[in-house]
Structure 1
Amino acid sequence: MTEVYFVRHAEPDLSIHEDFIRPLSNKGKKDAYNLVTFFNDKKIDAVLSSPFLRTIDTVRNIAFKFQVEIQTVDDFRERKIDGWIDDFNSYTKNQWLDFNYKLKSGESLKEVQCRNINALTKVLNEYNGQTIVIGTHGTALSTIINYYDHTYGYEDFIKIKNQMPLVVKMVFEDEKCISITTEVKGSVNK
């Protein structure tokens, strides 16, 4: 069995519009620090992350606790949108209604899902039988869940929209997902 803890990043500082370098807010930094307590009774073999700053900073203290280096995996990054979108809710709904919908130079949810599942498959083969943490994003994580549970859709995505950080545990036998459970929803209090 391989256990994967997907950790959706803590609250970002939305005043920074450049996705790749958007940091955590002060609340996000505190929540990321407190998230380590959730992992106290676990043995983590590896910590991987999207290359985006907010995901790396969310899992940084977990990696430090277990004395492992964070390995960035470019294909775990968030979807490319095509600039800043003011009506993000409408855009998101359109994407969930049509997995191929995208703006001119953005990514569709189907493309995001394929990219993330390909990366996850490589990770499952490399870390078979181990317990790993993967720093991720809400949309990327939602497309992964949807791949294994086709009933997961727009309404489920909306439910997690403001849950940061979010920890979802998936258990695999080789490449087959046998369970998906939500472990942490939002702030972690000490």
Structure 2
Amino acid sequence: MTKVFFVRHAEPNYENHDDRIRELSPRGMEDRKKVTAFLADKNIDIVVSSPFKRAVDTVKDFADKNGMIVEIVEDFRERKVDSGWIEDFTSFSKKQWSDFSFKLSDGECLKEVQDRNISALNIVLEQYSGKNIVVGSHGTALSTIINYYDKSFGYDDFENIRFLMPWIVEFSFDELGNCTGIKRHSV
């Protein structure tokens, strides 16, 4: 059996609008210790992450304390919304969840985010079969992964976790790569 612990990043600094280098807030830096404590007894073999700083930094405390490196997987990155900051994020999110192909001119639709993240997950599952894996992730990216395996997960569920940071979702996979269970953990 393979277990994958997707870790939605801790609270970021919302003043920084650069998605790739947005760091954790002081609260986020403190809250990542909760992730480290949760993962302490999970026999983790490998830590991978989205390349975005807030995701890396959320799992890096655990990796550092356990003498591991954080392997960057570009395709685990968060959805690209557009070239600029979106003021009415709620309306935008509702449109995307009601139509997985909806996107702004310079952004990604949820179907693209889901396909990219599932493809990356399948590679990780093949490469680390039988291992316990941590993946530093994001709210939307992780939500599309949950939706892939559980179609009932939709906009209302996404809205319920929108401000839940950090958040851990544990996926279990059999030796063929089939998802056999999903558990949500608040930390």
The two structures have a TM-score, normalised by structure 2, of 0.97
Which consecutive aligned stretches of 4+ in structure 1 deviate over 6 angstroms post-superposition?
none
Counterpart of 1:180 in structure 2 is: 182
Counterpart of 1:92 in structure 2 is: 93
C-alpha offsets along residues 97-146 of structure 1, whole Å, 9 cap, x if unaligned?
A: 00000000100000000000000000000000000000000000000000
RMSD of aligned alpha carbons: 0.8
Provide the C-alpha distance between the structure 1 equivalents of 2:166 and 2:88, rounded to a whole number of angstroms: 23
User: Structure 1 residue 41 and structure 2 residue 44: aligned?
Assistant: no
Shift of 1:64: 1.4
Provide the C-alpha distance between the structure 2 equivalents of 1:34 and 1:113, rounded to a whole number of angstroms: 27
Give the AA of the match of 2:171.
M
C-alpha offsets along residues 9-48 of structure 1, whole Å, 9 cap, x if unaligned?
A: 0000000011111000000000012321111212110000
C-alpha offsets along residues 48-69 of structure 1, whole Å, 9 cap, x if unaligned?
A: 0000000000000111122111
> 5 Å matches for 1:62-73?
62-73=62-73
Aligned residues: 185
Provide the C-alpha distance between the structure 1 equivalents of 2:93 and 2:103, rounded to a whole number of angstroms: 10
C-alpha offsets along residues 147-180 of structure 1, whole Å, 9 cap, x if unaligned?
A: 0001110000001001000000000013100000
Counterpart of 1:22 in structure 2 is: 22
Any conservation in 2 of the 1:146–1:153 contact (CA below 8 Å)?
A: yes
> 5 Å matches for 1:33-182?
33-82=33-82, 83-173=84-174, 174-182=176-184
Give the AA of the match of 2:38.
F
Provide the C-alpha distance between the structure 2 equivalents of 1:152 and 1:45, rounded to a whole number of angstroms: 29
Provide the C-alpha distance between the structure 2 equivalents of 1:142 and 1:34, rounded to a whole number of angstroms: 21
What secondary structure, in the 3-state scheme, does the structure 2 residue paired with 1:132 have? strand
Give the AA of the match of 1:110.
K
Provide the C-alpha distance between the structure 1 equivalents of 2:8 and 2:53, rounded to a whole number of angstroms: 12
Shift of 1:7: 0.1
Give the AA of the match of 2:181.
S
Provide the C-alpha distance between the structure 2 equivalents of 1:35 and 1:113, rounded to a whole number of angstroms: 24
Provide the C-alpha distance between the structure 1 equivalents of 2:34 and 2:165, rounded to a whole number of angstroms: 12
Give the AA of the match of 1:182.
R
Bigger mean CA offset, 120-129 vs 62-71: 62-71
Provide the C-alpha distance between the structure 1 equivalents of 2:98 and 2:24, rounded to a whole number of angstroms: 30
What secondary structure, in the 3-state scheme, does the structure 1 residue paired with 2:152 have? coil
Identity of aligned residues (%): 54
Provide the C-alpha distance between the structure 2 equivalents of 1:160 and 1:86, rounded to a whole number of angstroms: 19
What secondary structure, in the 3-state scheme, does the structure 2 residue paired with 1:67 have? coil
Provide the C-alpha distance between the structure 1 equivalents of 2:41 and 2:52, rounded to a whole number of angstroms: 27
